[in-house]
Chain A
Amino acid sequence: MSETKPLLQSPSVDFDHRNFDWYVDKFIQSIVFIAGISAIIFIIGIFAFITIEGFGFLLEDFSFREFFLSPFWEPSDEDAPEYGILALVAGTASVTGLAMIVAIPFSLGAAIFIGEFATGKLRESLKVLVELLAAIPSVVWGFIGLSIMNPLIIDVFDVPVGLNVLNAGIILGLMAAPIMTSIAEDALKAVPDRYREAAEALGATRWQVIYKTVLPAAKNGLLGAVLLGVGRGFGETMAVLMATGHSVNIPGSVFDPVRALTATIAAELGETAVGSPHYQALFTIGIFLFIITFLINLTADLIVRGIRKG
């Protein structure tokens, strides 16, 4: 009976948990950590690689004045190529602007209806429908602009060509609306139910609840949804390539064809020699697009975060 086992052995042996499983755990942890920061690596990588490819242009042919203020995009002119993106910016801005005029009221209205008025089966099916609409690929939207909207606009407005700001704006609006609806609906859902209940207890009608309570509380989230919609419209490529008419032009009316920044890259990258000034200029447009969308997303994130803290 002299051999009673002590209750606790020396701590250094028993509590040292560094067995095989512990090492496996540490190993996995470092692997998933690398995967976790991969998004950061890719964002930096994207910026680095497009900057490397566009760097030669930034050093030699780039002039701030010409790039941002000249409306002439004539990179293939052999004697005096001009790299002005003003008209392209105007094209992108006009199409995105019109798209937002179409999409903002409809998507916010639809979000309010789905989130606050509709109930049960109707609500579920509308949500599914919106999700499906958001999934339609942009090249299909571009094709719709080309083959369905184009003749329609020619017929209705009696204009010679239907590929213009109006066409691309409507297409882009229809494209962005489902996404904005989903995000806006999430923002409405984030408003706690007790806010609504308190307002209803005071005798408010559903609309008064929405107008006086839900919308003010969801304001930042809705603004974030709109901003993400703008970012999406700004960066859209295939649809605007196919529906704008693709001619460099500062638009005077919605019936003018324009050309977007993104579409310019898509249309011209295949025709340029790797490393030529034209090729590098297209990458410089890419840098510009990257920075703008980065700022839009950052702002949207900060705005949405604002309510979480407050």
Chain B
Amino acid sequence: MFAESSLNVRNKRIQNLFRILFMMMTILLIIPVIIILGTLIAKGGSIISFDFLFTDPTNGMTAGGIFPALLGTIWIVAVALLASVPLGIAAAIYLNEYAGDNWFTRIIQLAIINLAGVPSIVHALFGVGAFVIFFGFGTSILAASLTLAIMTLPVVIVSTRESLRAVPQAFREACWNMGATRWQTIRRVVLPNAVSGILTGIILEVSRTTGETAPIMFTGAAFFLPFLPQSVFDQTMALSLHLFVVATQVPGVPDNLPFGVALVLIAMVLLMNSISIAFRMYLRGKKKW
């Protein structure tokens, strides 16, 4: 009685065809990357060791470890976070808690989108013009970190704003009704309820900052330095730039060395992203409202 008409059968077939087509596309998008990651592990895995991570490069960077680059990346990321996290959170608080829905807010949003969209090398030029030359920081960790902080500011703003927005409006209203000021409400009610979401965004920013290369090339990261940085006014080596250097600039590097550097870099970035994602899922599961 309900036998499928030929039209129905045909439509179903088309549906399945497209389903499979799009599934193949998704798979084709992912497969090359998995092959690439596999190759990185296969070629670079052998060199990763305690010594590789914690000794200096030797022999004109053709042997030895990556410790100064690793430490330099931690310096740069830490200083960048010190600048961008408070600024980004404050900006997000303004946008979500104070700003009205008007043309001015739209201009701010447009500026944030553009800040994220400006090419990284243009951020580098800005860093050179502003921090290295105009403010006189020279090529230093400070200049590199500030450049990166401005570049990754949108990451903090967007993720913080998202988690502020997730706090129900009723929470705020309840607090205002008790006679609290806007700031008291934000500090006692909104921020405590959004703090874990904000943290997720910060981890994401750490990951972004770790991998960036172009903005630090001319602002504070050096190809090779025989000493470790002592303050934020020193230059430093950095892991991302170190990969570029050993892959393209130094002759006679054994094959597995750049693969090893790439593996460490990608492992750091993916690890932090995974933590951020896992954290987000845990929070979603725990949510009370």
Which residues does A use to contact B, with CB under 8 Å?
A: 21-22, 24-25, 28-29, 31-40, 42-43, 45-46, 49-50, 52-53, 105-107, 109-110, 112-114, 117, 126, 128-133, 135-140, 142-144, 146-148, 174, 177-178, 181, 205-208, 210, 228, 231-232, 234-238, 242, 262, 265-266, 269-270, 274, 282-283, 286, 289-290, 293-294, 296-298, 301
A/B interface sample: 23 pairs, CB < 8 A: A28-B183, A29-B183, A32-B94, A36-B91, A38-B91, A49-B125, A114-B26, A117-B19, A136-B270, A137-B210, A137-B211, A137-B212, A139-B211, A140-B265, A140-B266, A144-B36, A206-B19, A208-B11, A235-B119, A237-B214, A242-B244, A269-B125, A298-B110
A110 adjacent to B29 (CB under 8 Å): yes
Known: A25-B183, A42-B153, A110-B22. A129 touches B30 (CB 8 A): yes
Is chain B's interface secondary structure helix, strand, loop, or mixed overall?
helix
B115 adjacent to A131 (CB under 8 Å): no
A207 adjacent to B14 (CB under 8 Å): yes
The smallest beta-carbon distance between A64 and chain B, in angstroms, is 21
The smallest beta-carbon distance between B130 and chain A, in angstroms, is 5
Contact string, B8-30, partner A, CB cutoff 8 A, digits 1/0?
Answer: 00011011001101110110111
Other CB < 8 Å A-B pairs besides A53-B125, A129-B30, A238-B213, 5 of them? A32-B94, A43-B111, A45-B130, A137-B265, A242-B244
Write the chain B residue with the least CB distance to A41: B111
Q: Which residues from A are CB-within-8-Å of B217?
A: 266, 269-270
Write the chain B residue with the least CB distance to A50: B125
Which residues does B use to contact A, with CB under 8 Å?
A: 11-12, 14-15, 18-19, 21-23, 25-26, 28-30, 32-33, 36, 39-40, 87-88, 90-91, 93-95, 97-99, 107-108, 110-115, 117-126, 128-130, 133-134, 150, 153-154, 157, 181-184, 186, 207-208, 210-214, 217-218, 240-241, 243-244, 247-248, 258-259, 262, 265-266, 269-270, 273-274, 277
Write the chain A residue with the least CB distance to B182: A25
Q: Which residues from A are CB-within-8-Å of B15?
A: 205-208
Q: Which residues from B are CB-within-8-Å of A137?
A: 210-213, 240, 265-266, 269
A178 adjacent to B94 (CB under 8 Å): no
B112 adjacent to A39 (CB under 8 Å): yes
Q: Which residues from B are CB-within-8-Å of A144?
A: 36, 40, 262
A46 adjacent to B29 (CB under 8 Å): no
Write the chain A residue with the least CB distance to B248: A242
A286 adjacent to B125 (CB under 8 Å): yes
A231 adjacent to B117 (CB under 8 Å): yes
The smallest beta-carbon distance between A191 and chain B, in angstroms, is 17
Contact of A270 among B207, B218, B269 (CB under 8 A): B218
Q: Which residues from A are CB-within-8-Å of B125?
A: 49-50, 53, 265, 269, 282-283, 286
B129 adjacent to A242 (CB under 8 Å): no
B207 adjacent to A135 (CB under 8 Å): yes
The smallest beta-carbon distance between B224 and chain A, in angstroms, is 14
Write the chain B residue with the least CB distance to A133: B33
Q: How far is the CA of A266 from the CA of B124 in the complex (A)?
A: 9
Known: A21-B184, A29-B183, A35-B90. A113 touches B26 (CB 8 A): yes
Q: How far is the CA of A228 from the CA of B28 in the complex (A)?
A: 22
The smallest beta-carbon distance between B199 and chain A, in angstroms, is 17
Q: How far is the CA of A49 from the CA of B33 in the complex (A)?
A: 38
Q: Which residues from B are CB-within-8-Å of A31?
A: 90
Contact of A132 among B29, B258, B273 (CB under 8 A): B273
The smallest beta-carbon distance between A35 and chain B, in angstroms, is 3
Write the chain B residue with the least CB distance to A290: B122
A266 adjacent to B153 (CB under 8 Å): no
Q: Which residues from A are CB-within-8-Å of B218?
A: 269-270
Q: How far is the CA of A142 from the CA of B266 in the complex (A)?
A: 13
Q: How far is the CA of A165 from the CA of B66 in the complex (A)?
A: 32
Contact of A205 among B14, B32, B88, B184 (CB under 8 A): B14
Write the chain B residue with the least CB distance to A44: B111
The smallest beta-carbon distance between A225 and chain B, in angstroms, is 13
Contact of A106 among B28, B115, B207, B266 (CB under 8 A): B28
The smallest beta-carbon distance between A298 and chain B, in angstroms, is 7
Q: How far is the CA of A88 from the CA of B101 in the complex (A)?
A: 42
Write the chain A residue with the least CB distance to B241: A139
